[in-house]
Amino acid sequence: MTMSSSTGGRRKPPTIHDVAREAGVSRGTVSRVLNGGHYVSPAAAQAVDDAIRRTGYVVNRHARSLITGRSDSVGFLLTEPQERFFEDPNFNVLLSGCTQALASHDIPVLLMLAGTKDERRRITRYITAGHVDGVLLVSSHSGDPVAEELRAAGVPLVACGKPIGLGSKVSYVAADDRDGARDMVRHLLDVGRRRIGMITGPLDTPGGVERLAGYKEVLTEAGVAVDEALVVSGDYSKASGEAGAERLLAQAPDLDAVFVASDLMAQGVLAVLQRAGKRVPDDIAVGGFDDSPAATAVTPRLTTIRQPWDRISTEMVRVLLAQIGGEDPAAVILPTELVRREST
């Protein structure tokens, strides 16, 4: 009767005014129904709901934002170099998790890739101009200039993983890296290994440092001396895993296990071990970290530490929305879990 919605072409969408007329009430009443429904009589609320359904009304967010000052959208900001984004499936899991969590609050996500310097400037301006209400930040960089500027501008910000150089004023959600590392090394000891090497993550990031600390702690507790020749550093990339494995094999021929700080690096490690004729796990056990899709894509499938990405993303969203709502920054640490497969 009022409008057929599947007619081709784009017609002018109904406004709050149309709904008000259709429901026989005023704009104000419709607006109140739309925003929580307080101080509205049941009869009016019902009439408005019906009218909305009949007209196919959808709120015009631009008009709303213009007056509220909020944009009701958030940015997902990636300051990583793009190659890592391409290579590491964890980003997808995180991005998808955050997007869905926000969708349930009816909040759209703007994807922001700050690759080049120009991009960084453009994005910073965009954000500080108030075009998003808050930002989910993915960055392993130390001293990220974009993040620092956003923090200074008072933009609500939640990082994935503990950021450094940003003071304590920025929220973050992270897995318990140290505890995860401890679990893995303890597991390697449990299966009888003693010459346990490690390929670390970048040591200018808290995550990299924590995983190394966990490794050393457990060895020390178990009375196994920490041999620095068994520790080489990497940057989470597959290539650095290969390089690390080669150095490790050269430095320590008697290696019987290696704890690798990311599944992606572990993928590289497995390739090198295979080329070197080492059997996994018979000759050398390999433990990863992340439980990324890569962990089950390799042969043998990787024993690893599961990061609770689903919870990380929902927590990031929860903390961000709280902060947008005026609450103080918060830090959330989530537990990890050992996933045993064939590589140990």
Alpha helices in the chain (DSSP H): 16-23, 27-34, 42-55, 61-68, 82-87, 89-103, 117-126, 145-152, 177-190, 206-221, 238-251, 263-275, 294-297, 309-324
| 10 touching DNA, by CB under 7 A | no
35 binds, among a copy of itself, DNA, none (CB under 5 to 8 A by kind): DNA
| 116 touching DNA, by CB under 7 A | no
* Smallest separation (angstroms) from DNA to the CB of 74: 18
The DSSP symbol for 144 reads -
> Which of the stretches 28-36, 94-102, 175-183, 221-229 binds a copy of itself when contact is defined by CB under 8 A?
94-102
CB atoms under 10 Å from CB of 235, counted, come to 23
Residue 51 vs 320, nearer CB to DNA: 51
Tokens representing residue 157 in the block: 């910000």
- What is the rounded distance in angstroms from the CA atom of residue 305 to the CA atom of residue 103? 29
* Smallest separation (angstroms) from DNA to the CB of 16: 3
CB 231 within 8 A of CB 197: yes
Entry field: residues in the chain: 344
Q: Let me know if 65 is exposed, middle or buried by CB neighbors in 10 A (0-12, 13-18, 19+).
A: middle
Site string for a copy of itself, 15-34 (x = CB under 8 A): --------------------
28 binds, among a copy of itself, DNA, none (CB under 5 to 8 A by kind): DNA
Task: Show contacts with a copy of itself in window 261-300 (CB under 8 A).
Answer: 267, 271, 274-275, 293-294, 297, 299
| Contacts for 339 with CB less than 8 Å, ≥ 6 apart | 291, 295, 303, 304, 305, 306
- What is the rounded distance in angstroms from the CA atom of residue 338 to the CA atom of residue 290? 10
Task: Show contacts with DNA in window 47-106 (CB under 7 A).
Answer: 57, 59-60, 63-64, 66-68
Tokens representing residue 75 in the block: 């940015």
Positions that interact with a copy of itself (CB under 8 A): 5-6, 8-10, 13, 58, 60-63, 65-66, 71, 73, 76, 82, 85-87, 89, 91-93, 95-96, 99-100, 103, 106, 108-113, 115, 119, 122, 125-126, 128-131, 149, 152-155, 238, 267, 271, 274-275, 293-294, 297, 299
Positions that interact with DNA (CB under 7 A): 12, 15-17, 24-32, 34-35, 39-44, 57, 59-60, 63-64, 66-68
